[in-house]
Structure 1
Amino acid sequence: MAALGLRGLALPAGLTGSALAQTPDRIVVAGGVITEVLYALGLQDRIVGVDSTSQFPAEALKDKANIGYVRALSAEGVLSLKPSLVMLIEGAGPPDAISLLNESGVKLVRITDGLTPDGVATKIAAIGAAVGAAGPAGRLAARARAGFDELASLRSTVAKKRRVLFLLSLQNGRALVGGRNSTADAIISLAGGLNVADAIEGYKPMTDEAIAAAAPEMVLMMRNSSAHNITPDELFAMPSFAQTPAAAGKRLLHMDGLYLLGFGPRTPMAARDLMAAIYPEAGIPPLKTAAAP
């Protein structure tokens, strides 16, 4: 996607976009993590529209206009809300819709979707800078950094990494999994696990033979609130998964998608919860330094 905004404009790290309003009063958001941060900063009254990935807090999609899926936006739908600022997570689209928004003259900010502790802190700071809340955002970012530091200390106690497979979906029996350089890979690493699909780039299908050979000790999936969640009995009855070490204890874990893969203020806690599930015998304590926003 072409870079958005004015050429040569100096922006905070993590930001690309057109000239920024200091106190925008009608914000449209495409990206659940942006919505989460704005609510954590107490700026929810400025939001007039959110995308369908804005699942936290739950009132966001109840109280605000829904502009659709983050990668399938309608420029007309966004502009109908008369925004003073549109905030886009990296990957928002389609490109034609973003181009139309850019041409409309509405102020746009695109937020880089960092998947590391530094990337999360930079993301939070960038969101705050875009809405004139740099101070509170800096404090929220510092709290996230402290959580990641505590998480690193917990991770250092793991003697032998366990093998984890992130299963995005099963389509006609074919497994779509999270490989290297994916959000799934990043959260598994933060939790002290070993991603067994690291031979795959991004989210791609994995053959039955490859799954059996990868020998995951746990299978991780997103919890789906609107459709059937596959049960451990169903998953491990499939030949490809029946042969894995995870099948012995039917180790299938469902976690909320935005919590697990959003890479926002709650990510240290999500990684800690995943670590506790991967290593139940370790008695992983709750984080002391990262209270929920």
Structure 2
Amino acid sequence: MAKHRRFRRLGLPVFGVLAAMAAGSALAAEPANPAARRIVSIGSAVTEILYDLGAQDRIVAVDSTSTYPQGTKEKPDIGYLRALSPEGIIGQNPDLILLQDGAGPPDALTVLRASGIATATIKALPLSETIPDKIRDVGAAVGLGDKAEVLAQKTKAELDAALAETAKIPQPRKRVLFILSVANGRIMAGGKGTEAAAMIEMAGGINAADQITGYKPLTDEAVIAARPDYVLVMQSGNHHLTPDQVFSLPAFLSTPAADNRALLQMDGLLLTGFGPRTPKAVGMLTSQLYPQSN
């Protein structure tokens, strides 16, 4: 019987967007196992990359954020990447645990690394320039460096082309507010250093919540001051929101977005994954923000 799968994004890792942090290899200095045949893949981007490299038959389990591509639903689910149980992972008898940076909690990682099972961590900075290295590092960890290099170069070329198109968009740029969730009227938004903010900027928009860092609540006054032209939300999962849910909130009544009920919805993994599909995500969001440019 298929397990119930959850998609939880609250508690996403937050990173300072500093160019210096993008330099060098993304693979942590940990032993990998290029010959591994039983891989536990933890992190949506890591899992997507493994599938793109043709290594899906070597994956014995995934975390609950790994819901793409379709075949991941047939894999055992070892839980949410930030609330891992070492026992559940070790019980899969893996010969490699491949972790996306931000997995945890720390005590669980300590147990996994002490287990003697090869464990490698892939950094996951929300920066477009780190995506090719992320692909290369996943490939190196599983002995598919040549295939990873091809995929990395293809992804970089596609991303460069997408960013070149957004660079042509004339001023003024659209202001976009990403809402992660709304609970009891409290609006959780994506500020500086988040995947959502980086995606908005790559798509030619302005992150309307740049007064905060990370995923944090916004007051009604802050929402009004943000003046979003669009509100961006995830189209499915626990954080899905409808236009009525958003624009019935008092904070949004006087915003430009409310005038046209301008709510954009995107697949959460596509929006925040920062993997091989990121060029597609940039193009999709750009076309929604600037339909007249297409």
TM-score (norm 1): 0.90
Alignment partner, residue 64 of structure 1: 75
Give the 4+ runs in structure 1 shifted more than 4 A.
none
Matched, 1:278 2:289: yes
Identify which of 20, 30, 36 aligns with 1:24. Answer: 36
Identify which of 250, 255, 259 aligns with 1:248. Answer: 259
In structure 1, what residue type is equivalent to 2:103?
Answer: A
Q: Which runs of 5+ in 2 are unaligned?
A: 1-23
Structure-2 change in CA distance of 1:17 and 1:28 (3 Å): farther
1:1-293 to structure 2, matched below 5 A, reads 13-60=25-72, 62-160=73-171, 161-225=173-237, 227=238, 229-283=240-294
In structure 2, how many angstroms separate the alpha carbons of the residues matched to 1:86 and 1:137?
18
In structure 1, how many angstroms separate the alpha carbons of the residues matched to 2:240 and 2:112?
37
SS for the counterpart of 1:221 is strand
* Cα contact 2:235–2:241 (8 A) shared by 1: no
Quote the offset at 1:18 in angstroms: 2.8
Quote the offset at 1:144 in angstroms: 0.8
In structure 2, how many angstroms separate the alpha carbons of the residues matched to 1:91 and 1:230?
26
In structure 1, what residue type is equivalent to 2:37?
Answer: D
* Cα contact 2:200–2:206 (8 A) shared by 1: yes
* Cα contact 1:23–1:132 (8 A) shared by 2: yes
In structure 1, how many angstroms separate the alpha carbons of the residues matched to 2:257 and 2:145?
45
Bigger relative contact order, structure 1 or 2 (CA pairs below 8 A, ≥6 apart): 2
In structure 2, how many angstroms separate the alpha carbons of the residues matched to 1:103 and 1:42?
29
In structure 2, how many angstroms separate the alpha carbons of the residues matched to 1:229 and 1:205?
17
- More displaced, 144-153 or 84-93? 144-153
Aligned pair count reads: 270
In structure 2, how many angstroms separate the alpha carbons of the residues matched to 1:200 and 1:229?
22
* Cα contact 1:164–1:194 (8 A) shared by 2: yes
In structure 1, what residue type is equivalent to 2:262?
Answer: R
Give deviations 1:17-74, integer Å, cap 9, x for gaps: 43221211000011011110000111000000100000110221x2211000000000
In structure 2, how many angstroms separate the alpha carbons of the residues matched to 1:37 and 1:234?
35
In structure 1, how many angstroms separate the alpha carbons of the residues matched to 2:234 and 2:167?
26
Alignment partner, residue 5 of structure 1: none
Quote the offset at 1:234 in angstroms: 2.9
* Cα contact 2:233–2:240 (8 A) shared by 1: no
Q: Which runs of 5+ in 1 are unaligned?
A: 1-11, 284-293
Q: Percent identity?
A: 46
* Cα contact 1:165–1:196 (8 A) shared by 2: yes
* Cα contact 1:17–1:108 (8 A) shared by 2: no
- More displaced, 227-236 or 101-110? 227-236
Give deviations 1:129-164, integer Å, cap 9, x for gaps: 000000111111111101111112211211121100
Alignment partner, residue 7 of structure 1: none
SS for the counterpart of 1:87 is strand
SS for the counterpart of 2:120 is strand
